[in-house]
Amino acid sequence: MQNILITGGAGYIGSACLRWMLNKGYNVYAFDNLSEGNKAAIPDAESRLIIGNILDFDLLVSTLKEKKIDAVMHFAAAVSVPESINDPEFYWRTNVSGTKTVLDAMVATNVKKLVFSSTAATYSFESPMPLQFDSAQAPTVPYGVTKLACESIIKDYAKTYEIGCSIMRYFNAAGADPSGQFGESRKKESHLIPLVLLTALGKRDTIYVFGTDWETPDQTCIRDFVHVDDISNAHELSLNHIKPHKVDAYNIGLGKGVSVREIITISESIIGKKINSIDKPRRAGDPGILYTNPQKLKDELGWAPKYNSIEEIIKSAWNWHKSHPNGY
């Protein structure tokens, strides 16, 4: 049984991966400062959660040693595009310095396996869609730039220190645990589907549609949504594919896009009520169309998503939000 440390393990995606790995028989620990994460998202949190910052080298080293960690899944990061534009210093410190500190702690304790949570935001949005794992990477916002910098550091460390790594670039994570007990709950929510559902619950007055003049069928943005359990499955598969010195990159998405208007309309159909929306100008850093081709993930790792439709994904999210209107 492998011992796994998940940085950002109390966050939305990190905790989903933690629960997935626990269910698959791994011994898993979360490392999180709880600035955005939720202790309640971690089963047996008292024994599994280490509260700390990824910039704390000494705590990382002692944790890796004491828990006899075999592999790290590194989710901890700042992830908002608009925030990164307004506060790039925080993003360089948290994402780049934080990732380097995690790598330094791994080198110091001889941990050789890393699964890194990256993003579609590292790509050039001028590239033809769907994006491939080897499409040009030319990010335009600090969030994407810092994540690409992390990928570069990881590749350098892999060559010198025998670390093997899977870089997981996923698109729009969505959905909730099928049990209805765990889901997306942020202090500052920025993701479309929870914002739509929170509007339906009356927790927000309206949902804003940013940009209604895109070159898409209904003139709103198109995105590729993938369920967090399918992301978690991809992380487990990639962990067991890692080889020393080798860095592989994979895109995680369903390979099809859904527009903002379609998300609202489908949500209205599932919930059975009208959801108030207001059109707004485009936001800085937003591409009009963004979706991937996950074929490499399917071919090399045998990944097969369980949630193949946006309806299934939204239904799972609604099941969580309606029973937890105030989150955790």
Q: Which residues contact 292 (CB under 8 A, 6 or more apart)?
A: 120, 130, 131, 132, 169, 171, 224, 251, 252, 253, 255
Q: Which residues have C-beta within 8 Å of that of residue 327, sequence separation ≥ 6?
A: 38, 185, 186
Distance of CA 58 to the CA centre of its chain: 26
Backbone angles phi, psi at 239, to 5 degrees: -55, -40
The verdict on whether 143 is a catalytic residue reads yes
Catalytic residue among 26, 29, 143, 250: 143
Q: Which two tokens stand for residue 230?
A: 């399918």
* Helix (H/G/I), strand (E/B), else coil: 208: strand
Pairing of strands 3-7, 247-252: unpaired
Task: Please state the separation of Cα 4 from the chain's center in Å.
Answer: 18
CA distance 123 to 251: 11
Give the 3-state secondary structure of residue 27: strand
**Residue owning tokens 């940013």:** 210
Residues 194, 200: Cα–Cα separation, whole Å: 10
Cα separation, 58 vs 61, whole angstroms: 5
Please tell me whether residue 12 adopts helix, strand or coil conformation. Answer: helix
- Give CA–CA dist 168/232, Å, rounded: 10
Sign of CA dihedral 210, 211, 212, 216: negative
Number of residues in the chain? 328
Which residues carry out catalysis? Answer: 143
